[in-house]
Structure 1
Amino acid sequence: MSDKRSMTRRLAIALTSVVALFWFVALGLGVYVMQDEFTEIFDSGVQETAERLLQIVANETTRDAPSGLAQASVTAPALNSQFLTYQVRDRDGRVLFDDGAPEPFAVPLATGFSQTPTHRIYTAGTTDGSLYVQVADAIEHRTEALMEGGTALLLPLLVLIPGSILAIVFVVRSTLSPVSQLRDDILTKDSGNLAPIDEATLPRELRAIARSVNLLLARLKAGLEAEREFTSNSAHELRTPIAGALAQTQRLAREVPPAYQPRTAQIERALVHLSRLAEKLLQMSRAEAEIAISDEQHDLLPVLMVVMQDLERSALGANRLNVQVAKGTVLERPIRVDAFAIVLRNLLENALIHSPPGSRVDLHVDPMGIRVTNESAVVAEDVRANLTKRFVRGPTEASGSGLGLAIVERLVAQMQGQLLIASPARGKTQGFEVEVRL
């Protein structure tokens, strides 16, 4: 939840805030109701105490002083409470007995409840008004009881709120896991992986999104297939007229007088260069169309052997290629065989063209990938850093377009591989080495 815009974070915060707010509102209502109930309970206790004391005092006073209250000398019982105090007063307001409160309460001698800033007082009197008992309950006592009750309600919330946060985060993450799954599925889609998303495993609310994405993927796949087919057809259509023009030029060179042969040779070289450039441009176009990744695993070793045999039959690679395949090598990857063939052919052609005539070119194959090494002169580091750029060539007089390594770099990136260039070659004092880790 590091991203502040995360749905999980926002939902967890929102739900926790709402739940906590409801809990605190419920706590406030509970304290309010508890205050009313405490007031009723305490008032009932004070009233009952006052009425009982009035009966006791009235009985004692009648027995000891039948002629009246003057000179009465009764001892009233103690309440055994640190919160309740009482006074027995006559009709004139004099305090006859008290429980630690000698000064008369500043309330009228009338039956019922009265209140001072510090006490809640109930006054009970005889029917003739000759005796009054006033029992006072400290407001501090009631406040303390209310605070303790409120605290007892609040403390569990301090534990429940963090627990609810964890529970809400867990529930939200579990509920949103299909959204994360759909997001991850969509992130894996590119021109090499256009397989439709499985809608059956998604909740009903997300199936419409998955269905729309699948329709978009189907259209994209159709467009890419059309583009690849056009590129392939274009390559074929371009090769045919160029090859025809080259053949006619070569035939013409044998028929024209010697004075015209240098010019026909120049035309032939131009057509050969045009043919190679057109092929490289078409390969770059295919690389830009992201043809490298496949939905299925393919064994690349047979492709490697076909490319090797094709080059060995050409004048450029005859008797110059040396293949070393590590024992037990299995080179199966989700890579299109035509993309791998383009990578391998460009690496081998570059190695053959930019090395001394008749020198050997080594191809090492292991489970990690391929490595092509030739015996060219050492290429400086600053030059090597730019060789994968389009139309950039090293210090060489050999013919070429400067697109070979650019095409390789583009396709290897799509294969999620790694392209390593070194000069001098590994274990040598010269040479040029290109390694492709797949």
Structure 2
Amino acid sequence: MRTGPTRKSGIALRLIGWLSALLIVFWLAAAGLGLIVMRGEFDEIFDSGLQQAAARLAPVVAANLGGIKISPPAPLPDEADDYLVYQVRDHAGAVLMQSHAEHSAAFDIPLVAGFFEDRDYRYYTIAIGDTFVQVADSLAHRREATLESAATLLLPIVLLLPLGILVVFGVVRRSMVPVEILRAEISAKDGGNLDPVGVSDLPSELQPIGASVNLMLSRLRAALDAEREFTANSAHELRTPLAGALAQTQLLLRELQATPQEARVVQIQQSLTRLATLTEKLLQLSRAEAGIGAADRVTDLVPALDMVVGDFERTARWRGLVRYERSAGAELMRAVDPDAFAIVIRNLIENALIHGERAGEVGVVLERDAIRITNGGPVVSRDTLVAVRRRFARGNTGGQGTGLGLAIVDRLLEHMGGKLTLSSPAPGRADGVEARVTL
């Protein structure tokens, strides 16, 4: 099963993600290490408290029980908590004294001096002869102290982490601004915009990239200028001799009428006519590549459209074949060069006349938001409609075109900010092709 291309995340998003993750990991690791050290220190403090409590009880027990057998005293009053409890036991394990009534049962630990620990308490035992003082500290108390300390340590981290991530986001986005500016400038470069990118404000790490891009643009600009100059100069140089040769051929044709050589002269005239047409298209292409199309001010393009349609009506070959309609309220006020617009419309009408139905009408309709040029003829496949927009590409028609008309139109409309849409069959018909121009 085919899957579509995955959308790769940008550098800024990756940096923000990695830095935020590292920030979280480092803070949590620091908090974890802090808790481990804190837990060790707490154990030392509590163990020291156990030892000190047992040491203070030992003299009292020695003074009261030294060699005198006494009955166990009444239990001491219960305290507010039982974090620290103690018992005094004889060598047989009997409890002689305890701190809390609920701890009257003897501790279930051996009568051995030192530390001992079970599930609930940690004990410390001191031996005074045959008497043992045992002090117990609640492990729940220690865990509670550790949890409270952990909460106190982690709460600021939880509150500061979003702030830290926002700071990382802001720093990364601010640091990526020069990269984004450079990316935007490079992405705006095309055949009509080869101005160098600005490198003076770029960071030192990006300046070599900007310089390399400018060097590449300068070489590309020189190559394109040379190509356009060659095309324009060649067309200009060919126009005059072609016009002279065509005129001489027409004179020769008059002299050779009704002779065996007449057919050959007609073929020469047709070849020269096609060559003159190709020369004119090459001149238009060079102008289109030079970037004409957009204008500095808004212009009414309707007179240019009327003039182009009128030129076809005045041409004997096409007289009566162009049907021109203008919708009510339709206007063409655009910031577009009228000459470039006229070239676009002329090429589209010529294309429709040459490749449409032989001696068939071509409809030109000016609407509020578009210009539609429609011709009859067989339905053209979508692939062919895409292919004929390339230079020197021709469809499967009997028309003798140059293969440059639609390429010129596409290039000019690109500079105008317009769009050409080809449809077949034409909307509202079962055949034909419609060219729709929107500006």
Structure 2 length-normalised TM = 0.75
Partner of 1:332: 334
Letter in 2 for 1:122: Y
Shift of 1:338: 5.7
Offset from partner CA, 1:275-308 (integer Å, 9 cap, x none): 2244446656776x58466595674737556656
Alignment of 1:74 onto 2:78: no
Distance 1:402 1:147, change over 3 A: closer
Distance 1:206 1:329, change over 3 A: farther
Alignment of 1:379 onto 2:381: no
Whole-angstrom distance in 1 between the partners of 2:46 and 2:237? 104
Partner of 1:437: 438
Shift of 1:341: 3.8
Moved more, 223-232 or 97-106: 97-106
Whole-angstrom distance in 2 between the partners of 1:116 and 1:269? 113
Preserved contact between residue 379 and residue 433 of structure 2 (Cα < 8 Å): no
Alignment of 1:349 onto 2:350: yes
Matches within 5 A, 1:218-233: 218-233=218-233
> For the aligned residues, what is the CA RMSD?
4.2
Alignment of 1:42 onto 2:43: no
Q: How many residues are matched?
A: 418
Preserved contact between residue 232 and residue 282 of structure 2 (Cα < 8 Å): no
Moved more, 47-56 or 179-188: 47-56
Distance 1:425 1:269, change over 3 A: farther
Preserved contact between residue 326 and residue 365 of structure 1 (Cα < 8 Å): no
Partner of 2:116: 115
Shift of 1:417: 0.7
Whole-angstrom distance in 2 between the partners of 1:78 and 1:105? 24
Whole-angstrom distance in 2 between the partners of 1:303 and 1:218? 36
Partner of 1:86: 86
Whole-angstrom distance in 1 between the partners of 2:229 and 2:351? 27
Shift of 1:230: 1.5
Whole-angstrom distance in 1 between the partners of 2:382 and 2:40? 87
Matches within 5 A, 1:187-198: 187-198=187-198
Letter in 2 for 1:263: R
Distance 1:227 1:305, change over 3 A: farther
1:392 to 383, 390, 395: 395
Alignment of 1:408 onto 2:416: no
Name stretches of at least 5 consecutive residues in structure 1 with no aligned partner. Answer: 63-67
Matches within 5 A, 1:230-249: 230-249=230-249
Alignment of 1:271 onto 2:272: yes
Name stretches of at least 5 consecutive residues in structure 2 with no aligned partner. Answer: 1-5
Distance 1:391 1:54, change over 3 A: same
Preserved contact between residue 195 and residue 295 of structure 1 (Cα < 8 Å): no
Partner of 2:175: 175
Partner of 1:65: none
SS of 2:421 mapped into structure 1: strand
Partner of 2:3: none
Q: Percent identity?
A: 41
Whole-angstrom distance in 1 between the partners of 2:54 and 2:295? 92
Shift of 1:351: 4.8
Whole-angstrom distance in 1 between the partners of 2:8 and 2:401? 53
Shift of 1:15: 0.9
Whole-angstrom distance in 2 between the partners of 1:292 and 1:423? 32
Whole-angstrom distance in 2 between the partners of 1:423 and 1:121? 97
SS of 2:137 mapped into structure 1: strand
Whole-angstrom distance in 1 between the partners of 2:166 and 2:351? 60
